[in-house]
Structure formats: structure tokens, C-alpha cells
Chains A and B, each alone.
Chain A
Amino acid sequence: MNLTLKIWRQPGPRHQGSMQTYKVTDISEDMSFLEMLDILNEQLNAKGEEPIAFDSDCREGICGSCGLMISGKAHGPEKTTTCQLHMRSFTDGEVITVEPWRANAFPVIKDLVVDRGAFDRIIQAGGYISVNTGSAPEANAAPVPKPHADRAFMAAECIGCGACVAACPNASAMLFMGAKVTHLSELPQGQPERDARVVSMVDQHDHEGFGGCTNVGACSQACPKGIPQDVISTLNKDLRAALRR
């Protein structure tokens, strides 16, 4: 198929960016969206134009590196990561816009690459269980009831891609944070630090410049891992409980 691509180009963090138009031809529907961009980049390179920068690594939907706003949707029209989005989801002759994640807390580094370091700093604020290596008790010492184990697992599936933030009109990271809080709160190991964790993560979230959650629901719509919105309720419940104590 043949496509027209309108792609955000921005040489660096302090430069102005703009949309540029490119045409690609002979795109096979078996290609992933990123492979289609690879082809465009090879063409640009051949013409002596600098290729378009974008992040990707695993290309199988698990590392969370990739992420583009495709025609206004985080990760494009399907509920999957950009690397697992295939060209068969588009039609011949389509005009597709491609932009980086949009959020003040995710500044653009170049073209389609943004800085998601804020996510790491939120985890640093308490998204872990404090246990030193070598001091762990026998693994089966604390059984976990199946419903808790399942819910912890569901929340632990978050790949930290940032689509939830990009999709949210307030650029809130509540879904990402709710996923982590839920993962750890469901487990017996996560209890001792439960209150401190949620307070300090929420503080960091606000400090990074993410917006507040107003229950729009765009986050879980865009989440490639299907993290449900109710992790945000868990987060809020934990936060209220912690502040009351």
C-alpha cells in the first residue's frame, strides 16, 4: 500500500518542531508500524536526509520503549504497542500523523523520542519492597491467596510505556502509579510500607508535573496491557487511608 505520513520532526529539546510530510510506497501489510518507519528511514538515508529518531527495543510488546501518537491515538488504532501494530490496520492511501507522547513531564529529546525519566523517579520514591539480598525468608513461608495473586499479577503487567499519560487530557500518570501500588499492595510482602509508599509516590508524581486524574478513562482505553481503571481506585483508597493514619 501507499501512505502519506505527517511526522513530527524536532532536532533537539530546545528547537522548534514541525510536522513534515513523507510518502511511502509498497508497504506490505505484514510489516509492523516500526518496520514501516525503518523503510522510510532507509529512504531518507539514501537521499542524504537524517533519519527520524524513535525509540524501540524488544519489538514484541514487552519492554515499553516504543510509543507514538498515531493519528491522535496513543499506540495507534489497536489496543497494542506500536511495535506490535501492523500495517494491515491501515488502508491504502491513508494519511497518518505521527507524533511523540505529549506531556510536560515527558519532554521531547528529538523527533519522536521523549524523556520518560519521571517514571523511574516515581519508582524511586517508593515503588519497591525493601528487602536486602540474602535476607529473604523461604519463598513459600507466606502463601498468597489466589485472588490476590491474580490481581497483583494483572497490575504487574504494566510495561511503563507512558501511553496512559499521553492519552490523558490532564497528562496524569495515575494509571501507571495505580498499577504499581496495586501490584505491591495485594501481596503480604508489600504491607509494611503500604502507607508510606503511596504518599511518597503521589508526591513525586505531582512534583514531576503530571496532572491530576479527573476520571476521564482515556488511560485504560489506551493501555496496551489492559490495566483497568480500578487500579486508580485502589490508589486513591490507599492514599486516603494513609493520610488518615
Chain B
Amino acid sequence: MTDTINAGITHGLYTEGEPIADTKAPAGPIAQMWTTRRFEAALVNPANRRKLDVIIVGTGLAGGSAAATLGEAGYNVKSFCFQDSPRRAHSIAAQGGINAAKNYKEDGDSVYRLFYDTVKGGDYRSRETNVYRLAEVSANIIDQCVAQGVPFARDYGGLLDNRSFGGVQVSRTFYARGQTGQQLLIGAYQALERQVAAGTVTTYTRHEMLEVVVVDGRARGIIVRDLVTGEIETHLADAVVLASGGYGNVFFLSTNAMGSNVTASWRAHRKGAYMANPCYTQIHPTCIPVSGEHQSKLTLMSESLRNDGRIWVPKNREDCDKDPRDIPEEDRDYYLERIYPSYGNLVPRDIASRQAKNVCDEGRGVGPKVGDFRRGVYLDFADAIERLGQEAVSEKYGNLFDMYARITGEDPYKVPMRIYPAVHYVMGGLWVDYDLQSSIPGLFVAGEANFSDHGANRLGASALMQGLADGYFVLPNTIRDYLAKAPFEPVTADHPEVVAARQSVQSRTERLLAINGERSVDSFHRELGQVMWEYCGMERSEEGLLKAIDLIRGLREEFWRNVRVLGAADTLNQSLERAGRVADFLELGELMCIDALHRRESCGGHFRVESQTEDGEALRHDDEYAYVAAWESTGGDGFGELGTPVLHKEDLVYEAIQLKQRSYK
């Protein structure tokens, strides 16, 4: 097997470097670690905090909460986002809920149980110490948000209500109808605006970070483009925090907001920050399917629908374009109930997603043809409506049914809904230690942008928890240890490293505008997305990934020769913004494929065809792959040349939890 593991190396796609490890988590029992670390982290006296500048890129749950908290502490904070208001960050779209080990239901929940469930849900590919801390601070998040006025669901006694989520056996998810992300973000946004009024935080909206400034090995600032005037600005600071979100949009179609991108992380990666587990993507089984070539994004529908809906496709391909109501019971294949009799339609997200793709690939998908395929399966409520009555069903799911009807123009009370899996969330991201510091000193990474606490999969409701844990509680404590070392060497805008960073932004912009080729930015993005979904999506094979790498390289070469970006550099220019992001996606896509290629095991939602059990189920290899893959960039010219990445392995050590294989049948 070692031969194939080294396929990437033998193909010259990457080389292997020194192993790495987290050196910041203190020794001792896991339950004491965070207390110890907080105590040991050096203090900064209040008078000195005013003199320290911190830049925070991103105003989602992670960045917004971090900026508010560091502002309250008295640091001089500059907060950046590309939207017109911090309140519009992508976190706003999260629907389901946020986990916390409050044990309000007295159902046996505890910090340890949340910790355990999260490590297991991550298929034992997350770092134990970080996850424990996440579970530990989770309860404080709820207190904080309630104090801010976040209107969580309440019961008739006026106390907070919970629901269970994603197959967990306890009820620990706090929610605000289907708008949990919005309500949490508004809470953080209001705390942030309060600091703006207090003068500790300055917000820079419609500003996009395009480069990190690294001086003497430390992150000392960023270069941004004012998206309204086009001006390239330099902002210097004592520390930089990236909370710039996930990169699921590399797939073009995803449930992410249109603007979500990898640029901030990718620029940092090019400057020396390691990118960890980039191929770990979470795919969500219940999205509204693609309806045509024009589609710009996919809409998620709550997974709770699987509690009452039955999933099926026709047994025979010929029936696929029939009205589903005319297909008799015996001609329907309730494939999840058939293959997984004990879990049925409630199998975990990855299984439900992969089986849906399989039946569609077999040609049994339903709904409109997009390309050569119909990509949809039925989620049928006819039985539930008969059993419970339409009123009860509408009570439970009414808002989702309305949303579905508005988007598809079909009435789900009469015709079965159609669903299909979609890319939703990424667990990979910049490598960080226990302090959330990247491999560049002074560069911290929070929220979805870091490789995070999620390993290879995700349970519902843990990403919001991680974003707020990082921003409100973890980062403000760990960054002070770094800032206590200040004052650092003063840096001015004419420092050669600053000038060079500015220059590289300028030349990229000029280059993009000068190409004036034939193809639009979107057409490249769509094509990249298709390649990624086909070969680096739910199912991966060595052959497919090698092919994808070739295709991406070709596409990248064409991009830098043939893209057409109109308009000028000194005005609002949305095509230029997108072009820069797609250029970075084109590089990230290759690294994702290399990462997927070298990980010759099925784990989390990632099915490697070379690694399956006799009955076709995912097979993990703990003996060979219980590590984080952290990739170092070796440069390349930045105009389509990637260089040969270097793989550094961080061994995952499980002391509090024992590794186990999963079984779904």
C-alpha cells in the first residue's frame, strides 16, 4: 500500500517535510488544560492595551465576536469585511442551531459527552485538546448571547428550549426558529457596534484583504482594497486575526453566500501559513436541487425533514420523468430503508448524501436534467400527511414547505419534494496551535477559516459553537499572551516587506485587468466547480484525483491567458473582485485534490473507493492516517504556478478518548 500512498510523491505532486506538533496545550489532565493555559498566558496591563493594534479580518460569528471582545478589553481594533455591513457576514445564514453542554434537560449531557460526541462525529481526525475546550466554553456562549438579547426559543415557563440535532442522543441544541445564525450574528454585531461607538473598534466595510504583511517572520499587517474607490491601502498592527470563513465556494455551487471565498486564507498560506486538511468538506444531504445551468447557489433545507419524509427514487429509469404520484409503490426504491434497515432515512449526513449521488449516477435521479443527468431524489411526505394530517405536518415544517414552494414553484404538500446533496461547510483551513496561532507568529485564525475542531466530519450545530467559542472566549485569552511580548519593532509603510506586499497586490490587479481575453470569470469558476464536485466531492479515487489535477492546471493556465475582466481598478468593480477570488480558488482546488489523493482512507464524508469494507462501506485507517495534514506552500509565481507543496504531519494523540470504527448498519 505504501506505494500508492506515495503516489503523490512519485508523481512529483508534493514532498514530505518535518512533522509538526502543537506546543501550546499545557500538560496535565484534559479537564484542567484550559484553566492552566489561561492562567499561564501573560497579561497586558490596561494602559498598554490602548497602544496595541489588532487587525481582524471578517465580521462573522468568529470575527465579530473577537473584535467586540478585544475592543472591550481596550485594544485598538480594526475590523474588516467585504460586505457593506458587518451584519451581513455569511454566518447570518445558518439555520439549525448551536450546541452547548448546559444539560438543561437533565438528560445526561455534560462537557465530556459533548466533547466525546464531537470527536466521534469528526471521525477521530480532530485535535482532542481543542475539542475539549470547545465543549468546556460552550455553556458560556449561551449565557453571553442571552445577555445580549439573542431571542432563543423558550418554553411556556419562560426558560430556554432545546432540541436534538444530527443524530445525537441528548437535547443540547439551542435555536431561534430557522434563523439561529442570524440572531447570533446580530448579537455579535451589536456588541461590535457598541465598541465602534466607544471608539475601541474601527470598522472598514467594503474592504477586501488581498495580502498579509510579514516582517521578520511575524504578521504585522494587511493590504486591502477599498472596494468602492479601488484604493489599495496598507494597515499595520501588532497582530492579525483571520476570521474570514470557509471556502466551500471552490465548488461553485454550494450553500455558502456568493462572496464567501478563500482569498484571505490563501494569501496567508502563500506567505507561510500551513493549510491543514484542505480536502475535508461537509456535504449536506437535504438541499434544493439544481434546476438549470443558470443557478448561482444552492439552498439548504433543514435536515429535520428527514424525521418524517421518506426518501425514494423510481426503480426503473424509464419512470424518472413521470409524475411521481403515478408511480406505484412496487416501482419505488426506498433505497435508504432498503440498505440501512436500522437507521433508514435517518442515516448520518455523509451516507445519505453518498447514496443519493449513487442512485442519480445510476441514472435513476428525478427532476429536470442538468447536463446529462437528473440530480434529485424524492423526499416524500405523503405517508406523514396521511398518518399525522396535513395540519400537523404544516405545523412542524410549514416554513420549509413554503420556502421550497417559493423556490421551485411546486407544492410539496401535493408532489414529493426533491432534494440533492450540496457542499455546505469546510473543516479544513489554516493550521493553528492550541492558541489559534498559525505557523506565522502573530497571525491568528478563528472560526471556519482555521482547520478547526471538527476533524473529518461535522455534526450539526457545532460550527456556530466553534465560531463564537473562538471569538468570545479563546482568542481574547490566547492573543494576549502574544501581545504581552510587545512592543515589537516599529514597522512603517515604507518597509521593504510592506512595499513588496503592496506591489504584489497592485500587479495582480493590473494583470487581471490587462488580460482582456474571451471568457468570463464565472465560466472558469463553474468549470472548476464541476471538476471539484466530480472528483474531489463525496467520492474520490486516485485516478479521478490525478485527472482533476490535470484539468485544474489546464484551467488555471487558460484563466491567466484568457479571462475577461472589464472595468477599471479605481472604482467599484465586482468582476475584478470575483476574478481575484477565482484565481485563488484555482490554486486551492489543486491543493485540495493533492490532499485528497494522499489520504488513501475513507473518513468522515469522504469516500475513497480504494478504501472500503466488503459490503461497500467507508473504511478508515487509523494506523496510517491518524494525523493532520498540514501543507506548506513553496511559492510559485502567483499567476497560476503553484509550486510543489510540502506535507507536514501532526500526529493526533488520543488520551482521553479511544479510537473506534463506526458502523451504520
Measured CB to CB, the residues of A under 8 A from B are 11-12, 28-32, 34-35, 38-39, 42, 45-46, 48-51, 53, 55-60, 62-65, 80, 84, 86, 88, 109-110, 113, 115-117, 119-120, 123-140, 142-146, 149, 152-153, 156-157, 159-160, 183-184, 187, 189-190
Q: Which residue of A lies closest to B572 (CB)?
A: A110
- Which of chain B's residues have a CB closer than 8 A to the CB of A124? 193-194, 196-197
A6 CB to closest chain B CB (Å) equals: 21
Partner of A129, one of B87, B147, B181, B258: B147
The DSSP consensus for interface residues of chain A is loop
A49 CB to closest chain B CB (Å) equals: 7
Q: Which residue of B lies closest to A129 (CB)?
A: B149
B356 CB to closest chain A CB (Å) equals: 21
Task: Please determine whether B84 and A35 come into contact, CB atoms closer than 8 angstroms.
Answer: no
B419 CB to closest chain A CB (Å) equals: 16
Task: Please determine whether B83 and A65 come into contact, CB atoms closer than 8 angstroms.
Answer: yes
- Which of chain A's residues have a CB closer than 8 A to the CB of B10? none
Q: Is B286 an interface residue (CB 8 A)?
A: no
Q: Is B129 an interface residue (CB 8 A)?
A: no
Q: In the bound complex, how far is the Cα of B498 from the Cα of A129, in angstroms?
A: 39
Of all A-B residue pairs in the complex, the 10 with the closest CB atoms, nearest first, are: A143-B158, A128-B190, A136-B147, A139-B146, A136-B143, A153-B151, A124-B197, A133-B69, A57-B257, A131-B147
Partner of B86, one of A30, A120, A145: A120
Task: Please determine whether B259 and A57 come into contact, CB atoms closer than 8 angstroms.
Answer: yes
Q: Which residue of B lies closest to A128 (CB)?
A: B190
B535 CB to closest chain A CB (Å) equals: 26
- Which of chain B's residues have a CB closer than 8 A to the CB of A38? 294, 296, 522
B463 CB to closest chain A CB (Å) equals: 16
Task: Please determine whether A59 and B84 come into contact, CB atoms closer than 8 angstroms.
Answer: no
Measured CB to CB, the residues of B under 8 A from A are 65, 68-69, 72, 83-88, 90, 92-93, 102, 104, 140, 142-149, 151, 154-160, 176-177, 179, 181-183, 186, 189-191, 193-194, 196-197, 203, 205, 228, 257-259, 291-292, 294-297, 299-300, 406-409, 472-473, 476, 520, 522-523, 564, 566-567, 571-572, 574-575
Task: Please determine whether A145 and B520 come into contact, CB atoms closer than 8 angstroms.
Answer: no
Task: Please determine whether B182 and A132 come into contact, CB atoms closer than 8 angstroms.
Answer: no
Taking A30-B409, A119-B85, A133-B68 as contacts, is the C-beta distance between A59 and B156 under 8 angstroms?
A: no
- Which of chain A's residues have a CB closer than 8 A to the CB of B197? 124-126
Task: Please determine whether B177 and A153 come into contact, CB atoms closer than 8 angstroms.
Answer: yes
Partner of B85, one of A140, A142, A160: A160
Taking A39-B294, A189-B149 as contacts, is the C-beta distance between A146 and B158 under 8 angstroms?
A: yes
Q: List 14 A-B contacts (CB under 8 A).
A: A11-B571, A12-B571, A30-B291, A35-B296, A55-B84, A58-B258, A117-B84, A119-B85, A120-B86, A136-B143, A143-B154, A152-B151, A183-B151, A187-B149
- Which of chain B's residues have a CB closer than 8 A to the CB of A109? 228, 572
- Which of chain B's residues have a CB closer than 8 A to the CB of A59? 257-258, 296-297, 299
- Which of chain A's residues have a CB closer than 8 A to the CB of B72? 132-133
Task: Please determine whether B143 and A183 come into contact, CB atoms closer than 8 angstroms.
Answer: no
Q: Which residue of A lies closest to B94 (CB)?
A: A62
- Which of chain B's residues have a CB closer than 8 A to the CB of A157? 179, 182
Q: In the bound complex, how far is the Cα of B102 from the Cα of A153, in angstroms?
A: 22
Taking A51-B575, A125-B197, A128-B148 as contacts, is the C-beta distance between A63 and B92 under 8 angstroms?
A: yes
- Which of chain B's residues have a CB closer than 8 A to the CB of A115? 84
Q: In the bound complex, how far is the Cα of B300 from the Cα of A60, in angstroms?
A: 9
Task: Please determine whether B205 and A133 come into contact, CB atoms closer than 8 angstroms.
Answer: no
Partner of B520, one of A42, A160, A190: A42
